[in-house]
Amino acid sequence: MEMRTVLAVVTSGAIVVACSSFGTSESNVPESSGSDASADSSDVASPADGGGDAADGTTSGPFCSGPPVATAFCASFDEGNPASFDWNGPPDINGKAGLEVIANAPGTPSAPGALRATVEPSATNDCLGRAELSKTISASRPINKVHAEFMTKVDLVSSRFSYVHLTANSASDTGGSWQVGLSHADSVSDYSEIWNPPVGQQVGLGQGPPFSRYLLTGRWTKVAIDMTISPPHFDVSFDDVPVASRDSAVVKELTAQGATLAIGPLIGVCPSNTEVWFDNVRLSVE
| 55-87: pLDDT as tens digits | 333 333 478 877 778 899 998 888 655 556 688
The more confident residue out of 277 and 31 is 277
Which pLDDT belongs to residue 79? 66
Which pLDDT belongs to residue 230? 96
* Domain-located, residue 10: no
Provide the 3-class DSSP secondary structure of residue 152: strand
Q: Is the pLDDT of residue 89 over 70?
A: yes
CB atoms within 10 A of CB 95: 13
% the chain with pLDDT above 70: 76
- What is the rounded end-to-end Cα distance, in angstroms, of the chain? 38
CA atoms within 13 A on the CB side of 279: 29
Are 29 and 226 in contact by the 8 Å Cβ rule? The answer is yes
β-partners of residue 102 are 114
Of 220, 219, 236, 179, which is closest to residue 202 (Cα–Cα)? 179
Total count of domains within the chain: 1
Residue type, 83: A
Are 230 and 157 in contact by the 8 Å Cβ rule? The answer is no
Residues, the chain: 286
* Domain-located, residue 60: no
β-partners of residue 10 are none
Which pLDDT belongs to residue 80? 59
* Domain-located, residue 264: yes
Are 266 and 161 in contact by the 8 Å Cβ rule? The answer is yes
Q: Kindly report, residue by residue over 145-186, the tens digit of the pLDDT.
A: 999 999 999 987 778 899 999 999 998 877 899 999 999 988
* Start-end of H helices in the chain: none
* Domain-located, residue 160: yes
Which pLDDT belongs to residue 162? 94
% the chain with pLDDT above 90: 44
In angstroms, rounded to a whole number, what is the distance separating the alpha carbons of residues 176 and 250?
12
Q: Is the pLDDT of residue 25 over 60?
A: no
Of 98, 45, 41, 57, which is closest to residue 215 (Cα–Cα)? 45
Of 232, 165, 162, which is closest to residue 197 (Cα–Cα)? 232
* Domain-located, residue 49: no
The more confident residue out of 125 and 153 is 153
* Domain-located, residue 97: yes
In angstroms, rounded to a whole number, what is the distance separating the alpha carbons of residues 260 and 232?
17
pLDDT band for 128, please (50, 70, 90 cuts): confident
* Domain-located, residue 1: no
Q: Is the pLDDT of residue 257 over 50?
A: yes
Provide the 3-class DSSP secondary structure of residue 94: helix
Which of left, alpha, beta for 125 (phi over 0: left; psi -120 to 50: alpha)? Answer: left
Of 34, 26, 41, 128, which is closest to residue 74 (Cα–Cα)? 26
The stretch 21-33 carries a mean pLDDT of 33
What CATH number did the domain enclosing 153 receive? 2.60.120.200
* Domain-located, residue 269: yes
Quick one: DSSP state of residue 269? Answer: B
pTM, to two decimals = 0.79
CB atoms within 10 A of CB 102: 16
The stretch 30-48 carries a mean pLDDT of 37
Which domain, by its residues, includes 187? 72-285
DSSP per-residue letters across 21-83:
S---PPP-PPPP-SS---STTSS---TTT-S--SPPS--SS-SS-SS--TTEEEE-S-S-SS-
Q: Is the pLDDT of residue 115 over 50?
A: yes
The stretch 27-31 carries a mean pLDDT of 33
Per-chain mean pLDDT for the chain: 78
Rounded to 5°, angle at Cα 53 from 242 and 64: 80
Q: Kindly report, residue by residue over 186-230, the tens digit of the pLDDT.
A: 889 999 999 999 888 999 998 999 999 999 989 999 999 999 999
